[in-house]
Amino acid sequence: MPIKIPNDLPAKEILQKEHVFTMDENMAFHQDIRPLKIAIMNLMPKKIETETQLMRMLSNSPLQVEITLIHPKTHVSKNTSASHLNTFYVNFDDIKNKKYDGLIITGAPVELLEFEKVEYWEELCGVMEWSKTNVTTTLHLCWGAQAGMYYHYGVKKQLLPKKLFGIYEHISRNKFVRLLRGFDDSFYVPHSRYTTTSIKDVESIPQLDILVVSEKAGLCMCASHDRRQIFMTGHLEYDRDTLKNEYFRDVEKGIDIDIPENYFPENDVTKKPRFQWKSHAYLLYANWLNYYVYQATPFDLSVIDDKFSPDQKGMIKND
């Protein structure tokens, strides 16, 4: 089934050129099916780029997915037009009385700030609290993962000596977890961040399972036992050229930044970057939609609460 997106969203034209089956609102109206309702709290500066990346991932499924884009009303975007935000985004007040099958909270370029110093922190806390009773499962990405671990479990982030920037090999600590079903013994994940989360700190939280780690990048993925809160510090959704564009952007700004590790062939920035994570990216989002959204969510969203039903808990026990 296709991904349902607003008629004039820029991502639609990009995805159609890639032969991704998209469905606009007019076509979806004639289908007698309940799509999975996924909300995306997009905190990234280049919102159109992030929208496209995530919708590309969510489209690789036989399930019909309907997207709602959320932007914090307490933040004025410098990189996305007000027209785009007003046309395609809602704020938390618009949806706080609704329920969703899934929620994605993206990263944000604010990781050097203390969480409480982020201008929209209070609003984001409201979203994360709301997700406990109004969303079946939430996927937190990069800074969004650090924010989620801090809000839900008090896990603090730590400053790195220098930016972790590149493509790193990872392994699963649980080869049978459904989120990682079909993954190879080792796989690659892009990272781009100045802070990290200690594996030992997460291990001290009895409600969390560590799922993916890297010798160089450290903690990559962990989740609550019931999988309603999933945290990923990397960026599997990134395109081939995302790190390249970020590197050249920082160079032009005069920022002292290393070449992304394990990315350009022979570390030659004139060569086409290796795309080593694409298949696992699609697989992760397909697994999330299938096992933790579709198979766990009730048909009637109004019955979502802060606890799974006995049948749903049984599914998670078999993870």
Catalytic residues: 142, 235, 237
Q: What contacts 302, CB < 8 A, 6 or more positions away? A: 99
Task: For residue 208, give both structure tokens.
Answer: 């969390």
Which is it for strands 65-70 and 36-41: parallel, antiparallel or unpaired?
parallel
10, containing H or E segment: helix 10-17
| Long-range contact pairs involving 114-119 (C-beta distance under 8 Å, separation at least 24) | 115/147, 115/150, 115/151, 119/74, 119/75
- How far is residue 73's CA from residue 162's CA, in Å, rounded to a whole number? 32
What Rg do the C-alpha atoms of the chain give, in angstroms?
19
Task: For residue 20, give both structure tokens.
Answer: 């991704």
Q: Provide the 8-state DSSP code for 262.
A: T
Q: Are 243 and 259 in contact (CB under 8 A)?
A: no
E strand residue ranges, the chain: 3-4, 22-23, 36-41, 65-70, 89-90, 100-105, 135-141, 158-172, 186-196, 208-214, 218-224, 229-232
Mark 64-99 as b/e (b = at least 16 C-beta within 10 Å). bbbbbbbbbeebebeebeeebbeebbbbbeebeeeb
Cα-Cα-Cα-Cα dihedral of 173, 174, 175, 177, to 10°? -140
Q: Work out the angle at residue 103's Cα, subtended by the Cα atoms of residues 100 and 104, and round it to the nearest 5 degrees.
A: 160
Question: Facing residues of 3 across strands?
Answer: 22, 65
Q: Provide the 8-state DSSP code for 273.
A: P
